[in-house]
Amino acid sequence: MKTEFAPLSNVRLQPGTTYRHPPELPEIVHLDDPATDVMTDFEFVKPVTVRSDVPIDEALELMMRAGVRLLLVTDDAGAIIGLITARDIMGERPIKLAQEARVLRSSIRVDQIMAAQPEITGLNMVSVRNARVGHIVETLRRLERQHVLVLEVDALTKKQCVRGLFSTSQIGRQLGVDLTQEVVPAHSLAEIRQERG
């Protein structure tokens, strides 16, 4: 069975035509703004990933090149098996591990210090859609974490997927306050409002 295809008509490119690109996050946000205004959305931004057998110094170099402080650790099939942050790599854990195993720090791999998949939690995208920036700041403060994933069920596959993430450094930049000093515990929402004036 042969199908005939007719050519499509052409449209002339007009002067001043731009191109479609992913939306950018607002430069300035307030605690009452929608939480999605501070979310790194993987529908528009490709997540940076690393394999578990990569040396941690190579992972840190990848973070610096990409301008991120968290990598998703994936297996050969693309499934997330862990997370690793710059804080994990630059903290005490690699040094302790190197001393205990009597190996060079440079030989430590991502899988030896990453947060493994069973330990990872995230926020439901359904809740995030109705949340405000202040909810996310308070969540990160209570969790004493610098990052939290956003999870949803893929409409086609019906499987869970990571939709995006929240980062204290990103939120702090947009709020105009430093939320990264030893996570967020020192900052209450009232203190953040006061810093912003």
Question: Are the CB atoms for 50 and 73 separated by under 8 Å?
Answer: yes
Where are the domains positioned within the chain? 35-196
In the chain the first and final C-alpha atoms are separated, in Å, by 71
- Separation between Cα atoms, residue 155 and residue 190, nearest integer Å: 39
Predicted pLDDT at 183? 47
Tens-of-pLDDT digits for all 197 residues of the chain?
Answer: 678 999 899 999 889 888 888 888 889 999 999 999 999 999 999 999 999 999 999 999 999 999 999 999 999 999 999 999 999 999 999 999 999 999 999 999 999 999 999 999 999 999 999 999 999 999 999 999 999 999 999 999 999 999 999 999 999 999 999 887 644 444 455 555 555 55
Global confidence as pTM: 0.81
Rounded to the nearest 5 degrees, what angle is found at the Cα of 129, between the Cα atoms of 127 and 134?
80
Which homologous superfamily is 35-196 in? CBS-domain (3.10.580.10)
Question: Are the CB atoms for 140 and 181 separated by under 8 Å?
Answer: no
* Cβ neighbour number for residue 181 with a 10 Å cutoff: 11
Predicted pLDDT at 178? 87
Predicted pLDDT at 17? 85
- Separation between Cα atoms, residue 59 and residue 172, nearest integer Å: 24
Distances from the Cα of 61 to the Cαs of 43, 79, 94, 118, in angstroms?
A: 25, 22, 16, 26
Which residues is 49 bridged to in the sheet? 72
